[in-house]
């Protein structure tokens, strides 16, 4: 008889449905924000993409 051993196998943990009450958290790095604001302020985005 085994005692104190790890259980093998996985428990079924299905993904939640699309309408579940999950709170989403988006992590945004400040470096990307600075790059975007700089390109908008200097007009480099408009020059590159013709906008």
Q: Distances in Å between the alpha carbon of 8 and those of 1, 2, 5, 12, 32? A: 15, 13, 9, 13, 43
Please tell me whether 29 is known to bind a ligand.
yes
Catalytic residue among 29, 41, 49, 50: 29
Catalytic residue among 31, 32, 48, 49: 31
Provide the phi-psi class of 35: left if phi over 0, else alpha when psi is between -120 and 50, else beta: alpha
Is 31 one of the catalytic residues?
Answer: yes
Please tell me whether 21 is known to bind a ligand.
no
Is 29 one of the catalytic residues?
Answer: yes
- Residues forming the annotated binding site? 29, 31
Which residues are documented as binding site for Mg(2+)? 29, 31
Which residues are designated catalytic? 29, 31
């Amino acid at each position: 008889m085994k005692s104190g051993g790890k259980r093998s196998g996985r428990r079924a943990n299905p993904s939640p449905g699309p309408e579940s009450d999950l709170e989403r958290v988006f992590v945004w790095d400040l470096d990307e924000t600075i790059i975007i604001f700089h390109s908008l302020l200097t007009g480099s985005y408009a020059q590159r993409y013709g906008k």
